[in-house]
Amino acid sequence: MIIIMKPHTPKEEILIQKQKLEREGFEVNLSQGENYCILGLIGDTTKIDESKIGANEYVEKILKVQQPYKLANRLFHPDNTVINVKGEKIGGNKIAIMAGPCSVESEEQIVEIARRVKKSGARFLRGGAFKPRTSPYSFQGLKTHGLELLKLARKETGLPIVTEIMTADMIDKFVEDVDVIQVGARNMQNFELLKELGKTRKPILLKRGLSATIEELLMSAEYIMSEGNENVILCERGIRTFENYTRNTLDLSAIPAIKKLSHLPVIVDPSHAAGLWWMVEPLSKAAIAVGADGLIIEVHNDPANAKCDGQQSIKPDKFHRLMEDIDALAQLGSREIYETINF
Amino acid sequence: MIIIMKPHTPKEEILIQKQKLEREGFEVNLSQGENYCILGLIGDTTKIDESKIGANEYVEKILKVQQPYKLANRLFHPDNTVINVKGEKIGGNKIAIMAGPCSVESEEQIVEIARRVKKSGARFLRGGAFKPRTSPYSFQGLKTHGLELLKLARKETGLPIVTEIMTADMIDKFVEDVDVIQVGARNMQNFELLKELGKTRKPILLKRGLSATIEELLMSAEYIMSEGNENVILCERGIRTFENYTRNTLDLSAIPAIKKLSHLPVIVDPSHAAGLWWMVEPLSKAAIAVGADGLIIEVHNDPANAKCDGQQSIKPDKFHRLMEDIDALAQLGSREIYETINF
Amino acid sequence: MIIIMKPHTPKEEILIQKQKLEREGFEVNLSQGENYCILGLIGDTTKIDESKIGANEYVEKILKVQQPYKLANRLFHPDNTVINVKGEKIGGNKIAIMAGPCSVESEEQIVEIARRVKKSGARFLRGGAFKPRTSPYSFQGLKTHGLELLKLARKETGLPIVTEIMTADMIDKFVEDVDVIQVGARNMQNFELLKELGKTRKPILLKRGLSATIEELLMSAEYIMSEGNENVILCERGIRTFENYTRNTLDLSAIPAIKKLSHLPVIVDPSHAAGLWWMVEPLSKAAIAVGADGLIIEVHNDPANAKCDGQQSIKPDKFHRLMEDIDALAQLGSREIYETINF
Amino acid sequence: MIIIMKPHTPKEEILIQKQKLEREGFEVNLSQGENYCILGLIGDTTKIDESKIGANEYVEKILKVQQPYKLANRLFHPDNTVINVKGEKIGGNKIAIMAGPCSVESEEQIVEIARRVKKSGARFLRGGAFKPRTSPYSFQGLKTHGLELLKLARKETGLPIVTEIMTADMIDKFVEDVDVIQVGARNMQNFELLKELGKTRKPILLKRGLSATIEELLMSAEYIMSEGNENVILCERGIRTFENYTRNTLDLSAIPAIKKLSHLPVIVDPSHAAGLWWMVEPLSKAAIAVGADGLIIEVHNDPANAKCDGQQSIKPDKFHRLMEDIDALAQLGSREIYETINF
């Protein structure tokens, strides 16, 4: 960490600041330039509270050298983390495809879709039981009944299930019923929820907040990991910009960036990013080409009558063709989609 | 609501869509232009789920005529809402000043600051007991002990207390202990928390999310109101933009915009918006000039040693002078700050 | 175009507005809802000035049905435009690769790089002679001497040259010397320059502005086309967001969006978007996978000593391997990179 | 400037980089932390090209200590710059009010408006002759005829005129005819235009670009100043964000920020920022309260029939009342609006 003191700061104030930092256990390098005096801190600054230093009236600016996350940091964990979900791996050479409807609507719907997406190569079933909706008047999901239906679909197909949690009081139930617990974009900084999830050992699918920086996403992962749960899968799902042709702007540069900064696997949600079904195909391909470890895709057998987000769901046939295309793409990078070829 | 059908949509598809909407109880006006056919819906579209209509493959675009919120909408409630907190009013002619430290640190600290800000004209004491921090390694607040200290400060000064809630399981305690319950920016779309708060009758101070639109802020207010709690105070606290000289960009146009769209009171948080103590003064003045119903300001007796956000806190003396300046400003608009002049 | 009148607008005011619009040649559909009265305009609204209608005090909001651009609009030109530059086509099945240094520095440099990139499959040579720099103290390019060096490199390799124009007074020289004239992001709305370029018949490579919407990019293309020059190639090069790990956020959803809205070819600049050389490879692949018609890539033989933007340039060897990878990717979509295989 | 080397950079590479920088005339402080080695540069880094250093493959990140602008920097010019336009001062205690129509339409229009705004306290007449419009089909201004009409209005009222330039080839005419030359937001980084304007001695009103940072705005001022013209007035006019209730988001924190960083005067354009006439009043007041040196306001005698931007123009009567309100506000800060009170 580098602390830039204001021009014309009295010498004694600089020394006071220096000694204060030394007392906190840092080695401090002092360097006087023409206009600015600079303090360079050596030591583990991960746990320093920047705002406390910034509160000194003589401090002009603070520049970070080291990333503020440790457990999620590739610097200290050079190898890729591979997460094992009931034998299915996320983060390795096989690309993890999660597919399913925005929300679980009925047994027939979820079982039918589960069968179809499995047949096409999906390795996880996604489906919302608890739905965060911007309007209180919109369908809020089947809730615990939805979880039961997901379990039925899992029983029928063997696909592990991925579904979103909204409150900490449901954690025990989710740990019991679910294979991957999703934290939605709007809860990415619901720190209490993250801490509680950190106490479990379940794989957590952590979505990037609507306007979260990559660093903030990794800090939210750090929240979970600092409580002992290292099974974190990151998910890029579009960020908010001034462009409004698409619902959000899918930030695909985030994939190589995250892979550089962290050892955690990262997947892409093309459905929520664009909010347009016909963009799912090109964005999925781009996500694989850029190096994502997986995709989470909305598939619905009857989008026009879906209870939510039908406009961004693709039909099973389209999904099937997409899987074929993506497998070819994956193979170019010595990766693959399909478990076996027997279907 | 206006539905634009894709060019060259078959006539029968347009009729199917029209009939479907009529069955849902809308009157539908059909208008055929040169390239586009348009369906205009008449009726209460607040509760329509846009994404369901957008899922139809022949729909090009949906344009909203009416705002999607009803209870928070000025159209249906022309008069300003004035919220009464133990006799102190928010939303009327008297400007509501809330002041206090970022976080409660000790009895001496909070009582001393409470006394000072009260003397200067503050009508509410703010102070964090539960602190949402981006790093798991940062100070997370004194929690329930912090609430006790706030109650002590209230007892000493009579100032109603405003503090942030982070989880629904604390609602009963907050209803018991606190006068205004704050929902932080990161929880603005924690819909489960909003719904539970809607079941109380406590005043809720709802902060705008880091990248929330004004409409989304009002939809979050609607969540609370739809459960029966109409005591919602909105708070503009800066939005995230590409500009990084300030921590966030204070959006002061949001104040007249919200006043046009809604009847709810709206206050401004200049401390968190800029993240710089020396900007609190000019931004506070601007907030009053633009028509805000109040301010929430971080005041600390020793910012350089504050446990959090010291760099954005002002000292009691500076706060005192600011109140005088703001009172003069308020009087220009036939408003006022001070209860009485006897201090 | 749809005009929403304010609630409680007097009937006569609505009729005045309606008649005014009818006098301007539109058919006007009037539809009275519960709260809002709506006027639907039928006719060519491309040339209507929205702000003139919005100036009426009874108008609440204006919603556009039709895109405001005509010549660039796919609705009126369903087939892809293919631009022919000295026999090299942009917009067809063959992917257009433009490569070269950020700025032309010397004869040896530009000729050497031109040879290398040609050998690897580039079909165009890019290189800046006039450089728009944020600092007046930075290297501003070799200017006309740079153009001469580009011509030498073209003579040596046969590669058509692409270079940026900064002022209208250079148009004659550029028409004479250059094969594709680039308009930089900062000049995307330099409307006078666009109009003058519209009077030539040279292919124009129009870069998206730093915070331009897709619609604005297409309107800038419309400026050029409305003067008679239909040879416009669009270029996505990253937009400005709050994320600052990368210099800009490459908006790859813009590619399918532009292809839907317009018939013009669109290419991607991964070098400027990220500003990081090691992201050029993954972003280039993603751009091809998402459907871009080409790439413009910075290649330098000695990035560490480049006169500008060395941190985003890749070396010729890396470029060569990238071309091979991209050709494989392109073939998956029945497209190709290489002219012939004889090298 | 601080250069952070990648972890595990070979020692000799660090020394090579150090020596290279020393050869360029810097003193270099080397500091080795646990993971990172850091080079601190002492000397004038204003003219260093960051991208050249960043091109070294061992460089992880570059952190700036000093601002990259010198002539516009308050550090080297502590006193406020006051610009004198024919006796009218901008930047001092008297607040500069510029008012007039979006575009000059006719002699009667411009003279009438000039008379009205002068009577209400405006000290400058604004009016567009050359209009940058997003659509080529919109009214583009009366051009040189518009300049003639502005001169007529100046002759009638004595008000100095402010109008926008769009191309460098008009500079001689503007120097002859105009008192303050405006550079629009879209031309803020038209560096060639800035350089040419820097060769004149005319006051330049430089508008912040739609997505320009404060630092970039000051770098554009530096472009003008580096050519010898120190008469630069900055203008905040709203930045582009995801919020679309207003056309842009007026960034009022930019005013105290600019005043801290620079000695140049800074004014606010509330009309373009919001794009809504009814927001001009509250935003104007906020701008004065936050410390702006002036305002540029669109006033039209018949907004409903204005040739452009009528929806953001206020009528002369409203402007008159606004001036009275603003004068009262200004006096609170020991500033003033009116020259004399004799009208």
Give the other-Cβ count within 10 Å of A343's Cβ.
Answer: 9
Span B114-168, pLDDT tens digits: 999 999 999 999 999 999 999 999 999 999 999 999 999 999 999 999 999 999 9
Span B157-193, pLDDT tens digits: 999 999 999 999 999 999 999 999 999 999 999 999 9
Question: Which residues of chain B neighbour D288 with C-beta distances below 8 Å?
Answer: 289
Are B42 and C33 in contact (CB < 8 Å)? yes
Question: Which residues of chain C neighbour D57 with C-beta distances below 8 Å?
Answer: 304
Query: What percent of chain A clears pLDDT 70, i.e. is strictly above it?
Result: 99
Span A316-330, pLDDT tens digits: 999 999 999 999 999
- The reported pLDDT for the residue numbered D66 is 87
Q: What is the DSSP letter of B70?
A: S
Which chains pack against D, by 3+ Cβ pairs within 8 A? A, B, C
Query: What are the angstrom distances between the C-alpha of D14 and each of A321, B43, D30, D54, D57?
Result: 51, 71, 9, 14, 11
Are C244 and B244 in contact (CB < 8 Å)? yes
- The reported pLDDT for the residue numbered D314 is 95
- What is the CA angle B7-B8-B10, rounded to 5? 130
Interface-testing mutation among A210, A247, A252, A269, with chain C (most C C-beta atoms within 10 A):
A252
Residue B340 confidence (pLDDT) above 70: no
Higher-scoring residue by pLDDT: C156, A46: C156
Span B246-292, pLDDT tens digits: 999 999 999 999 999 999 999 999 999 999 999 999 999 999 999 99
C-beta separation of B184 from B141 below 8 A: no
Q: At what angle do helices D254-261 and D277-290 cross, to 10 degrees?
A: 40
* D109 three-class SS: helix
CA D134 to chain centre: 20
What are all long-range contacts of A44-47, with beta carbons under 8 Å and residues at least 24 apart?
A44/D34, A45/A1, A46/A70, A46/B137, A47/B135, A47/B137
Q: How many residues does chain D have?
A: 343
- Give the integer Cα–Cα distance in Å for C126 and C248: 21
Higher-scoring residue by pLDDT: D95, D309: D95
- Give the integer Cα–Cα distance in Å for A118 and A88: 13
Domains and CATH numbers, chain C: 2-63 (3.30.70.1140), 74-332 (3.20.20.70)
Span C237-262, pLDDT tens digits: 999 999 999 999 999 999 999 999 99
Interface-testing mutation among A95, A243, A321, with chain C (most C C-beta atoms within 10 A):
A243
Give the other-Cβ count within 10 Å of D341's Cβ.
Answer: 7
Q: End-to-end distance of chain C based on CA atoms, in angstroms?
A: 56
| Mean pLDDT of the residues in chain A | 94
- Give the integer Cα–Cα distance in Å for C297 and C313: 8
The residue assigned the tokens 């519960």 is: C34
Are A191 and B55 in contact (CB < 8 Å)? no
Span A45-60, pLDDT tens digits: 877 888 788 888 899 9
What confidence tier does C35 reach under pLDDT thresholds 50, 70, 90?
confident
Residue A184 confidence (pLDDT) above 80: yes
- Give the integer Cα–Cα distance in Å for D186 and B133: 39
* Minimal CA separation from C190 to chain D, in Å: 7
Residue C338 confidence (pLDDT) above 90: no
What confidence tier does D308 reach under pLDDT thresholds 50, 70, 90?
confident
Give the other-Cβ count within 10 Å of D343's Cβ.
Answer: 9
Of C239, C244, C329, the CB nearest to A289: C329
Are A240 and D242 in contact (CB < 8 Å)? yes
Question: Which residues of chain D neighbour A29 with C-beta distances below 8 Å?
Answer: 29, 31
C-beta separation of C245 from A239 below 8 A: no
The residue assigned the tokens 């809604």 is: B262
Span A70-87, pLDDT tens digits: 999 999 999 999 999 999
What confidence tier does C56 reach under pLDDT thresholds 50, 70, 90?
confident
Span D75-87, pLDDT tens digits: 999 999 999 999 9
- The reported pLDDT for the residue numbered A341 is 44
Q: What is the mean pLDDT of residues D118-125?
A: 97
Bridge partners for C125 per DSSP: C99, C161
Q: Which of A30-44, A176-190, B174-188, C249-263 is the least confident region? A: A30-44
* Minimal CA separation from A22 to chain C, in Å: 31
- Give the integer Cα–Cα distance in Å for C82 and C203: 11
- The reported pLDDT for the residue numbered B245 is 95
CA torsion sign for D159, D160, D162, D163 is positive
Span D194-221, pLDDT tens digits: 999 999 999 999 999 999 999 999 999 9
Residue A342 confidence (pLDDT) above 50: no
Alpha-helical regions (H) of B9-139:
11-23, 50-54, 107-119
| Mean pLDDT of the residues in chain C | 94
Listed in sequence order, the residues at least 6 apart from A307 whose beta carbon sits closer than 8 Å to its beta carbon are A102, A103, A105, A139, B49, B52
Residue B342 confidence (pLDDT) above 80: no
- Give the integer Cα–Cα distance in Å for B303 and B305: 5
Q: Which of A134-148, A235-249, D39-53 is the least confident region? A: D39-53
Whole-angstrom Cα Rg for chain B: 23
Of C35, C42, C211, the CB nearest to B33: C42
Query: What percent of chain C clears pLDDT 70, i.e. is strictly above it?
Result: 99
Of C4, C43, C65, the CB nearest to B65: C4
Are A33 and D65 in contact (CB < 8 Å)? yes
Give A334's Cβ-side CA count (13 Å radius): 1
Q: Which is nearest to A243 in space by CA: D135, D240, B64, C236? A: D240
Residue C66 confidence (pLDDT) above 90: no
Residue C341 confidence (pLDDT) above 50: no
Span C289-309, pLDDT tens digits: 999 999 999 999 999 888 888
- The reported pLDDT for the residue numbered C9 is 93
Size of interface A-B (CB pairs under 8 A): 127
C-beta separation of D135 from D129 below 8 A: no
| Mean pLDDT of the residues in chain D | 94
- The reported pLDDT for the residue numbered B339 is 60
Residue D101 confidence (pLDDT) above 60: yes
* B214 three-class SS: helix
Q: What is the mean pLDDT of residues B213-224?
A: 98
Q: Which is nearest to D202 in space by CA: D176, D170, D220? A: D176
Question: Which residues of chain D neighbour C9 with C-beta distances below 8 Å?
Answer: none
Q: End-to-end distance of chain A based on CA atoms, in angstroms?
A: 56
Higher-scoring residue by pLDDT: B234, B52: B234
Question: What residue of A is the nearest CA neighbor of D211?
Answer: A242
ipTM of the complex: 0.95
What confidence tier does D339 reach under pLDDT thresholds 50, 70, 90?
low
Q: Which two tokens stand for residue D120?
A: 């209400």
- Give the integer Cα–Cα distance in Å for C326 and C338: 10
Question: What residue of A is the nearest CA neighbor of B224?
Answer: A136
Residue type, C322: L
Q: What is the mean pLDDT of residues C137-160?
A: 97
**Helices and strands (H, E) in chain C, number of each type:** 11, 14
Residue D265 confidence (pLDDT) above 80: yes
Query: What are the angstrom distances between the C-alpha of D43 and each of A254, B232, C135?
Result: 35, 55, 18
- Give the integer Cα–Cα distance in Å for D280 and D255: 17
Of B133, B227, B240, the CB nearest to A211: B240
Q: At what angle do helices B316-332 and D316-332 cross, to 10 degrees?
A: 150
Listed in sequence order, the residues at least 6 apart from D213 whose beta carbon sits closer than 8 Å to its beta carbon are B242, B243, B244, B245
Q: How many residues does chain B have?
A: 343
* Minimal CA separation from B332 to chain D, in Å: 7
- The reported pLDDT for the residue numbered D47 is 76
Q: Which two tokens stand for residue A229?
A: 């749960």
- The reported pLDDT for the residue numbered D32 is 87
Give the other-Cβ count within 10 Å of A199's Cβ.
Answer: 12
Q: At what angle do helices D316-332 and D277-290 cross, to 10 degrees?
A: 20
Question: Which residues of chain D neighbour C195 with C-beta distances below 8 Å?
Answer: 136
Q: What is the mean pLDDT of residues A213-219?
A: 98
Question: Is the backbone of residue B334 left (phi > 0), alpha (psi -120 to 50) or beta?
Answer: left
Question: Which residues of chain B neighbour D215 with C-beta distances below 8 Å?
Answer: 245
Q: How many residues does chain A have?
A: 343
Interface-testing mutation among B9, B65, B67, with chain C (most C C-beta atoms within 10 A):
B65
Question: Which residues of chain D neighbour B257 with C-beta distances below 8 Å?
Answer: 245-246, 279
Size of interface B-D (CB pairs under 8 A): 116
Q: What is the mean pLDDT of residues B56-77?
A: 92
Of C213, C244, C282, the CB nearest to A290: C282
Are D285 and B285 in contact (CB < 8 Å)? no
Are A256 and C273 in contact (CB < 8 Å)? no
Q: What is the mean pLDDT of residues B93-107?
A: 96
- The reported pLDDT for the residue numbered D343 is 42
Listed in sequence order, the residues at least 6 apart from D99 whose beta carbon sits closer than 8 Å to its beta carbon are D113, D117, D120, D122, D124, D125, D126, D296, D297, D298, D299, D319
Bridge partners for B32 per DSSP: B37
* Minimal CA separation from A226 to chain C, in Å: 24
Q: β-pairing, D37-42 with C294-298?
A: unpaired
- Give the integer Cα–Cα distance in Å for C296 and C271: 8
The residue assigned the tokens 């964000």 is: D241
C-beta separation of D166 from C191 below 8 A: yes
Are D40 and A44 in contact (CB < 8 Å)? no
Q: What is the mean pLDDT of residues C217-245?
A: 97
Question: What residue of B is the nearest CA neighbor of A314?
Answer: B55
Query: What are the angstrom distances between the C-alpha of A149 and each of A5, A119, B37, B216?
Result: 60, 19, 40, 31
- Give the integer Cα–Cα distance in Å for C301 and C310: 10
Residue C340 confidence (pLDDT) above 70: no
Query: What are the angstrom distances between the C-alpha of D110 and each of A63, D141, D277?
Result: 52, 13, 19
Query: What percent of chain A clears pLDDT 90, i.e. is strictly above it?
Result: 82
For C10, counting Cβ atoms within 10 Å of its Cβ (0-12 exposed, 13-18 middle, 19+ buried), the class is: exposed
